[in-house]
Structure 1
Amino acid sequence: MTDTTAPWREIERTTVFSKFGRSVDQVDFEMPDGRKEQFYLKCERPAGAVLALTPDRHVILARQYRPGPERVLHELPGGFIEPGEQAAAAIARELLEETGYQGTITEIGSYWHDAYSTVRRFAFLATDCVRVTEPTPERTEFIDVVTLPLAEFRDRVLRQGAMTDAAAAYLALDHLQLL
C-alpha cells in the first residue's frame, strides 16, 4: 500500500522570477503514487512580525498600502530576517525602522506562511514600547504609524481581516492570555 503522506521527491527546480527578496520557483515532484506533477512555490527569506504594545496597552501599527490586497491595511511591524541576523534582532530593527518605537522583545513562536510557500514566519511580542526616534522606512515603504487600544485592534483590525500577519497577532494575544 502507498503511504499517501510520504514526502514527495523533488525532480527539478527552476526559478521563474526573482526580485525584492522574493522568488517563484517551478518545481517538478514525483508523487507517492509515482506520477510526476509540477508546482509553483513562493520562496522568500524568513520573516517576522511583532505585536508591539505601549505601556498603556495600545497596539503600534504600520498603516500602509499593500499591493497584493490592493488596499491600505493596519499591519504589524516586521519584515525579512537578514542572512546571519538573529530573528529577535531583526524584529527590534524593523520595529524601530518602521515606527520609531523600542520595547522588550519576546519570541512567541513560528509558523508557515502557506502550503505553497517556503516562508517561515516568526511571531514576536514587544511590551513597554516607547517612541525613541523618527521612523526610517525603506524606499518602498510609505507608512503612517498609528496606535489603537487593544480592544479596538482586536475588533476593528484583527477580527475583520484588515491585516496580513493575523497569525502572529493571534499567537501574541494567546501568549498574553487575551483571546
Structure 2
Amino acid sequence: MEPATAPQATPQPAEAPAPQEISNEAESLNLAQAELADLKAKNGQLAEQYLRAQADVQNTRRRAEEEVSKARKFAVEGFAEAMLPVIDSLEAGLGVKEATPEQIREGAEATLRQLISALERNKVVEINPQPGSKFDPHRHQAISMVPADSGQEANTIVSVLQKGYLIADRVLRPALVTVSAPK
C-alpha cells in the first residue's frame, strides 16, 4: 500500500480588486495628496508669518535701544535749557559797571528766583525743615545733637545748617540739621 498523499493545493489566482475598491483607493489617495498640499501651503504661510514677526521684534528692539541711547545722551537737555536764562541774568548783572548795592541785591534776588523756578520745573525741590519738626533720617542728616530744652521732644530738629534737595521724590542732598538728644 502506498501512502496516501495529501492533495496538493493548486494556486488560485488572487482576487482582483473590484473596480469600486480601486476607485475608492484612488479617491482616498487624491484626498490625502490634496490635504498634504494644503498643509504644505499653510506651513509655508506660517513660516513666513514667523519670520516677519521675528523681524518686527528685532526692529522694535533696535528702535527701543536707539531711543534709550538718545534719552541718555540728551537727558540734561531740558535742565540745561532751563539754566540758560539764569546765566543770561547773571551776565547782564555783571555787565552793569556802576550798580548800586541795592541794584545788585535786587538783581541777585531776581536771579535766585529764576534759578529756583528752573529747578522746580525740573522736579528739584528744597528740603527746608522747620525747627521743632520731627527728624527724618531719609531726608535729614544730623550733624550734631544738643540737649533737649524743657518741653522739647527728643529727635526733633533744633536748627537747619544747610537746606537739602529732592529730585522727583528722591533725595539729592539731605538737609544738614542739629537734633535734640534724648534726656
Using structure 2 for the length normalisation, give the TM-score: 0.19
Larger RCO (alpha carbons 8 Å, 6+ apart): 1
Larger Rg belongs to? 2
| Higher helix fraction (1 or 2) | 2
Using structure 1 for the length normalisation, give the TM-score: 0.19
